[in-house]
Amino acid sequence: MNFVSIIMGSKSDYEIMKHCADTFEKFNVNYEIIISSAHRSPVRTKNYIKEAEEKGAKVFIAAAGMAAHLAGALAATTTKPVLGVPMKGGAMDGMDAMLSTVQMPAGMPVGTVALGRSGAINAAYLAMQILAISDSELAVKLKEDRIVQAKKVETDSKEIEVIL
């Protein structure tokens, strides 16, 4: 079974990463979601990645705040795509997590999305776009979703627009 793995560094990340899971549910994409820390449970993290790959994980999403080493730890352990979601909080309100997630050494790529809720949702969309390369049904769903988003902009505009 193909699926996307969502790994959060702590339980406090769940409130935001639930939006990632909800997005997968909207598209009927299989996912797992766990808590595992690059710092507090490195053995658990490494073991989980191996087990998830054996079960069919195709993309990993890592959500972490502050030093945000989780995405890098995943990238060092797997050759599957890793997407990092920096989480707000800490002394720099997420900027430290953003910089930690973005600054990976050459050869250890992490696709980094926005902070917080938008990042969680965009990580799901980006993971689905990766899966859609070999899943034509999912590709169609994503194209249909773009049409719905465009129509919503037009509908919202009609509710308020004034054009001379």
Q: What is the pLDDT of residue 58?
A: 98
Q: Has residue 145 been placed in a domain?
A: no
Residue 132 near residue 139, CB atoms below 8 Å: yes
| Mean pLDDT computed over 137-155 | 97
Q: Would 115 be classed as within a structural domain?
A: yes
129 is a domain residue? yes
Computed over every residue of the chain, the mean pLDDT equals 94
pLDDT tens per residue, range 30-80: 999 999 999 999 999 999 999 999 999 999 999 988 878 899 999 999 999
Residue 150 lies in a domain: no
Going by pLDDT thresholds of 50, 70 and 90, the confidence category of residue 86 is very high
Tell me the residue range of the domain where 16 lies.
Answer: 3-135
In a domain, 93, yes or no: yes
Which pLDDT score, from 0 to 100, does residue 155 have?
95
What's the number of domains the chain is made of? 1
Does 1 have pLDDT greater than 90?
no
Determine, yes or no, domain membership for 161: no
Angle of CA points 2, 143, 86, to nearest 5°: 60
Mean pLDDT in residue range 123-147: 98
* Three-class SS of 88-155: CCCCCCCHHHHHHHHCCCCCCCCEECCCHHHHHHHHHHHHHHHHHCCCHHHHHHHHHHHHHHHHHHHH
CATH of the domain at 109: 3.40.50.1970
13 assigned binding-site residue: yes
Q: Is residue 98 in some structural domain? A: yes
Report the percentage of the chain scoring pLDDT > 90.
81
What pLDDT sits at residue 29?
98
Residue 164: per-residue pLDDT: 87
Alpha-carbon radius of gyration of the chain: 17
Give first-to-last CA distance, the chain, whole Å.
55
Whole-model pTM: value is 0.94
- pLDDT band at residue 89 under the 50/70/90 scheme: confident
Q: Residue written as tokens 């899943």?
A: 135
Mean pLDDT score, 93-101: 86
Q: Is residue 47 part of a domain?
A: yes
10 is in an annotated binding site: yes
* Contacts of residue 163, Cβ cutoff 8 Å, sequence gap at least 6: none
